Amino acid sequence: MSPWWRCKQEKETIVATVYADYTRDRTGLFFGLSGGQLITLVVAGAPALWAFQRQEWAAVVGLVLAWLVVLALVAIPIRGRSATGWLVASAAHLVGMTLRWSRWRSKAATGRGEDLAEPDLPGVVAGISVHDGPPQGPTNTRVAIIQDHPNRLWAATAAITHPGLALADSTERDAQARGLTALLNACARTELISEVLFLVRSVPEDGAERDQWLTRHQPATAPALAKAVNEQLAATLSQASVRTEAFCTIVVPEDRLAKEAKEFGRGVDARARAMAMLMAEVEAQLRTGMRIGTVTWLTSPQLAVAVRTGFAPGDRAGIVDALAARDAGVDVNAEVPWSQTGPSGADLAVRHYSHDAWHSISATLKLPAKGAVLGALAPVLVPTEPGERRSMVVVFPILAQSVADRQTQNAEWSADMAETLRSRAGVKTRAKDQTVIARTRGLDAKLATGNALIRPYAVACVTVPRTLRIAEFGRRLDASIRRAGFAPLRLDLAQDAGFAAANLPLGIGLDRKADQ
């Protein structure tokens, strides 16, 4: 799927900026079946044909029933996965529960913590390391460089400030959509960046900054009534307000970065310098095309705070107070050590994820057939009750040009083959299939004009304290996704991965492939 954006026009009036030019990753050859599925069904049906030829009717009945079971396991999708996939995932989860692999406890909680600079994180982020990059700018800021050892990836994260699209007209939305397309195409031309992630968290307002402002500006001789009014306003506004945090992360595979880093030397420092060049290019695209007002590449302490508040939203007030005390000259350690950025304990259930005193539920978003208006995801980020946090990540994996050309050719061949088989079998091609085939055939022309092939997906998450019913808030998250025009798909048996992707600005994705 590639982010080409277009404007629908009716009577010479621009209606909205719509994203609808996406296709399936794979087109089935024979009535929606892939080549592997077709071969599996043919092989499974061969014994039944052999028994039929020998007129062994009892064996024919048994083998046909067995073939139907294979058909259900291979070809019938259940909530986005095949039955075989569900069986494998369920068996793995059962084994993990039995052997207590699904339960995680931090080293600090068990008294084994030693190195404060070593990240101690659960699940899919267990292999993360954070390095300090080379000094940059007049202040010699050292940007944090994230290394994902299991996936052999490097990443860097920036905190961004965007005015939003609530008050933007169709012309402004279209301009920002073109800016996003320009950003992704520029990342593809670097031949280094494999993914661009945008993460947004709507966090309940804790009132930490307001309390500090009142402390600095409220005189000691103020009337008691005025103090009471200010305190009541602060409590009321904190419950009714949310604070938005946005991050942009770029991801580079190790095999690509290692070749580029040879110009800068060896080791982590060389890779950090190569990453710094990419960060400068991405920052220029963010500021110009996408109207990003502030782009601040996070240092290691700043990234540690972002990760800690991702696991525990309620810890932010204490961190803000510590930072204010340090700025006031008080001798206090305001930094969060990486060994304590994660939770003290985490447990993976089938339909939710528990981390310390919090519960989270994650779901992916299925793109609608009619397309989505730019900015339609806003309702997903609106909390429904005080204390609820909503977060979402939109991931843009960028395929290499050679891979994009090969996949486009295969998709066109599959679409032509499927259409031919339907025609010879006398099956009418439905309008939905005709639309998919037409979009597939149009990909080659768009790639030829210099556009990149992108496979975007989004993950939304809701986090609430353990004192609240997480199942109820999971249903509210699904309702918000449907209200935005999308279809929710709960990440059952993979809630830990969904939580990490949607809440932690570490460049975590759900679809990592070596050919990207």
The pLDDT of residue 93 is: 80
> Region 327-350: what's the mean pLDDT?
86
Name the amino acid, one letter, at 60: V
Range with lowest mean pLDDT among 34-43, 247-256, 290-299: 34-43
Partners of 295 in the β-ladder: 160
**Percentage of residues in the chain with pLDDT exceeding 70?**
89
* pLDDT over 80 at 50, yes or no: yes
* pLDDT over 90 at 5, yes or no: no
The radius of gyration of the chain from alpha carbons, rounded to an integer in Å, stands at 26
What distance, in Å, lies between the first and last C-alpha atoms of the chain?
13
The pLDDT of residue 10 is: 32
The pLDDT of residue 25 is: 65
Residue in 194, 236, 462, 212 with CA at minimum distance from that of residue 323: 212
Residues 276, 143: Cα–Cα separation, whole Å:
9
Q: Model confidence at 495, in pLDDT bands (50, 70, 90)?
A: very high
Residues 41, 34: Cα–Cα separation, whole Å:
11
Residues 93, 348: Cα–Cα separation, whole Å:
9
Q: Are 90 and 493 in contact (CB under 8 A)?
A: yes
The pLDDT of residue 121 is: 93
498 CB burial (10 A radius; 0-12, 13-18, 19+): buried
> Region 210-239: what's the mean pLDDT?
70
The pLDDT of residue 437 is: 73
The pLDDT of residue 239 is: 60
145-173 tens-digit pLDDT: 999 999 999 999 999 998 888 777 888 88
Structure tokens at 156: 């860097």
The pLDDT of residue 187 is: 93
Strands (E), 340-398: 345-348, 353-355, 358-366, 372-373, 389-397
Mean pLDDT over the full length of the chain: 83
* pLDDT over 60 at 12, yes or no: no
> Region 28-40: what's the mean pLDDT?
68
